[in-house]
Structure 1
Amino acid sequence: MAQETHNRKSQTVKFRDHIVDIQTVKINDIECLRLRDVQLRFDTVRAFQIDNVQQAFLHDEHGNDLEPLRIVACIGQIVEAVESMKDFSNDTHGQLVRIEGKIDRIDINVQEIMRQIANVMRQMYELHEYTTPRYFFILPAKHSDMMLIDAVQNWFHTHYKLYFLCECSHDPKEMHVAPHEGYSIKRARDFVVKYAPYLRTTIQIAQVLLSVGGLVIPQLENVSKVIDDVIPSQFKNPKCYEDMKQQLQMVDDLLNKVDNQRNRAGASIISKQKLKGTPLQGTELREIQTYLELVDDKRSLGNLYRIVTDDGYIRWVCHKHYDEASYNNEMSKYINEFKAMGGKFDETTNEALINQVNITKENVEMMCKALEKGFNIEKLICRECSIGENDLKKLLDIIINRSSIRCLNMGSKWSQSSIIKQ
């Protein structure tokens, strides 16, 4: 067995862009550089070369390599450590995968920042512009016999009331009448002439709601009695379907007569196209209040509340949907923050994945707050992530005791461990 005697000499070794001095050992009176000493610094090294000539390991008379694998030290020269092409390829691939992962996370962060900027810009505009509910329609306050109202002038003398709609959905069939008894309209002629093009659209929404039952019976499941008491009685009575249909038709006919008058007055084709289904601007919406006889001494019309969606749009909804929207907005914020830290969240399965992320203290605080507030994650998967011990303890405490997470899976692709809550 070879005997080893340590000394203070060292061999200069170069590996890629790194140059280090590694202590040599004397074995059988020969100063040697051992492969395993170099591998302690660079584990993929397989051989040595000097001046591009690969050096043979010391061997016996039969050509068998001596253990430990070593070469004769060349003090004063630089020995280049060499890795196999396979190891180099694997390491390069691993580096590329890590770089791609970082680029993906950076790209996600940039996209999220740009989305947030666009949302803030849109929100600033809409908050300034839309300070009044925008979906409304009119109905005769009392039943009127259309056959007896033969002149447009008589139609304008009819008493009309204005009703707002809750913008709880982008689907008109899922909207409902706002929980308010309606507003009497003064100067009906001026109002109808001014808003006729817009009323043409909203009256169609009301007709759709009537066809699916939403106008007769507002779709307010589990609505509180306080709100239910202020819903106009005619909208709660399913027996009034035909009467409601007739009143909507009356308003539709009125709008047609206004259009006919405008046509006879010689409006240009371009003007007609501009007026057809024209969306109202903020100023025009705010002017609605000047046509209403009694305006609530409240912050908004129709007992509606203004909310901002997670994509920056303004909507006016009833109290019930206001609470729901506030919760959904809060959850959307947590999902976006989770994605910004490098995570992925599947809203269909409620599964969350964090892969190769350095989980910071700030990340942990965000996750703990979100989970305590009701961020609904069924399964959390952490792959090859780093996290401080104290942060991990804090996160585990929240996951186990104060979250909806039922399964936590942590580890690498080679080794995994799971915690499943019963």
Structure 2
Amino acid sequence: MEELQLFRLIGTTDIKRILCSQVYEKYVVYWEDIERVFPGVKYVQVNGAAVNMMRDQNQNRDVPYRIQHYPGVELDVVLSTTGGCDRAGSSVTTASLSPTDGPTGVSTSAPFSTSTTESIVVDISSDTPLLDPQGGGKMVSRTTLSSKQVVLPAQKESLESEIEQRLISFSPEVQAQVLLSNSYNSMVQAIKKGQVEQSNRLMGCLLKLKDALDKNSELTAWNYGLTTENNILVTQMVEMQRALDAKQDEMKQLQIQALSQLALLQKQVQAVLTQTYELHEYPIPRLFVVLPQDSTGWNRLNSHSPKFRLYFLCECGEHTKSKNSKSKIPHHIHLAKHEGYDIARPTEFFDQYGSYVLTILRMLKFGISVAGVIVPAVSHLVRTDFLDQTCVTIQLLERTIMPGMNQVIEYLEKTSVDESQTIDGIMNNEALEGADLRKLDTFLKNKDGNKVLGNLYRTVTSDGHVKWVCIDHYRENYQSKAAESFRDAMKAFEGSFDESVGRVEVKVRSPFQAEQFYMALEKARSVYELKIEIFWDATYNDFNRLQDTVLKTNVGVFELQCYKFKIPTSDILNWSKRYDPIIDIMRHPSIQSFAYPNTRTDFFKRSNLLSRNDNFSNLRYLEIDLIGLDAVVPNLKCLVSKASQLKRLILQTCWSQIPTVYSAIVEHQTCPVTFKYINELLMRILPPSEESQQSEASLQDLAHLFRVYGRHIEAINLRGVELDNSVMDAFAEGIQNGSRLRELPMESVDRTLGAKCIKNLAKIVAQSEVRELIIDLKDEEERVVVMETIPWRHIRELNIELKQSTQERGAMKALVHSMERVSERVELEYFRLYCSTTSGGMSLAEEELLRTFVSSTSLKHLILDTTMTLKQILSVIKSIDVTRLQHVTLRTGDFHSTRVQSILDSLRHATELVTICLIDAIITEEQVEQMKAKGILLSNEYD
């Protein structure tokens, strides 16, 4: 629909309609259309106010000129004429054309006065055309007029009107230029003086000026158009640059976000890897301080055998602080709430841990803050306000801890310990390896039984580091209410929750019961180890639900046992992927230890292990039951090849499978491989050298395995093995260039070994570094030859089983003769002597040999499972250094309480005793309570 704008000449009622034009979705009226309808229009007004020309963003008039559309409004048109009538004959008042007055003092608002009566004389001596005085403003030739013609007033008025009409026909811009020009002012003066010739000449100049100004206006409009177009282009370019800059900023922000997310992801992955490593490597606390045993007698360090006590430290710090907690408990390292542990064999202890202990003592002495861990001044290590009244030893240390630290530092510096360890190394978890930590317990005179060392709790920080903290900081950070709620939930199941190490063991007998347990487990924060036993025919969905739960928790050590092997009919659709959820648990980055000891026979067959591109580099510990499994070799090879970070691999198998299985995995073996049958060790093989791998790619039988990889065998159980000459020859040949054998259980139950086999066996024992030796040979000659070759410098556990009493003397003679070759005290810690005879007992000669043997050792465990009289028992105990004994087992028969009391009295100086077992003895409740008060478990049943 067309839009019209209403106009009327001011002072009239005649309405004119002008068609509007649409520009950028707006309606406007072009000024030239208004001039076409109203010649001489000066401006347009509405309600007495002038309507402005439309302008662009730079406040320049839009070209072509235009005004905005006023729908339904009548705009008044004002002309530039000062007098006369409009087209309808109405009289109008003309607006001023010049802002200045003329030279005669007459206002230029009325340049051509109609009241003047002066005559105008026209000079006709020139050829310049003149205005015809009678012709209404027409040009006439100069020849038609006299040289001095006098212009009448009426003619003068007509001339003035003609000039004014021409001026009105000019555009407003031209009008302004004309009115300001000197020519126009001169022409006005000439007309007033009657100088027609001068006026006509000036009129010609005025017309030329008008043409020039019109051309200039066109050029200006064209230039303005170019300028406007250029401005539009510049504006567009600026906008495009702004958009480009905005896009670049957005890309930078996206890059920053991507880098931040990558950094966060790397941090999370590193946290998972760190947790994976530390959960496996740090099974006990790692920060501890060593001080003199007697806090009031520092001079005892000068004695030949100084005594020390070890105290564990709480590894609190930023990670134990709770955001919303109002507790005032300080979060800096301090001594744990424990009386500490006496150190056995201090010399050997400091050989192993001297540099580490010295570094920690120096760190504690001077104080330090590393990686969010604050070590305060020494005086703050003992927090008596948080200690129980039972921790008397710790309270006594408060005033004497600094002298004690200085004494130990001085003692260690004199022993020239290795000072290569640094504080950064300790705080970065590189000071002690897991094997060193696990060995630490062997030096401690531990009365805690199965309790955690130092009453500390294992936690995992947000960045994956394992820390051991006291109960106060444990509860501060892990919400005791949540832990208590989980403990209550565990009561409904056949399970246990060891909160100190975060280990859960549970038996679930139905999917419903499993769901209840999963719901409780998902809310627990401090569960790091999970052993779950399933007692129904689990389906794919059951395993999938188990996977979802485990991956929502902090579990890093996972063990699964299934006791039903029937495949449900409902699982037919998931036939080929039934165990994929178990594989998914195994490969998840948070799982560092995976054990499936009674693996289902179709485990590999009903999973897509071979076709999947899984990576098991998260695993540090893996245990799989291979007995009866289908397609063992290719799947196991695939699994081991993708578990490049394994530190321990346990495979349940039988002797006949070992060569085949080992040949499949040897090229990918990077850790010790332990072969077991049920719970009995068969063989442990250390990673072979590159030469061994290249020399043999496959194995055919056990003898071949011994010959090729014998030097890499760390433990072997020769019970049940066909110890014929070929096998033993191969074993002896395999270790001739060096042996790493540490454990060696061996026996010959059904037949006597040949002389060559015994010789090879003795050679194997002599060339090895056996720490655990079990001798269960049938013939006396066999035992004597092997016992004489025992490597006492390494041996720590010795187990001898005798079948006939007549052979005891020869065996004991061999032991004593073997020990006589050792110049220093034997560090044997575990000794078990078993004899099946039930009559006659031990002879005096055998008793003497036994006493001679045990008196040369440093036993912690003594087991005499043979018939002995009370006198013989007391004689043997008297010959032992009982201060180191922790466990004693004696076969006493039906000894009554008086004889039992005699044995207990003989052990009164055994301050480290934990258990006493007097097999088949008659023990009173009073005696049980008496031992219990000393922290000793007394029983008459041999476990």
TM-score (structure 1 length as normaliser) = 0.48
Greater strand content: 1
Which structure has more RCO (C-alpha within 8 Å, separation ≥ 6)? 1
TM-score (structure 2 length as normaliser) = 0.23
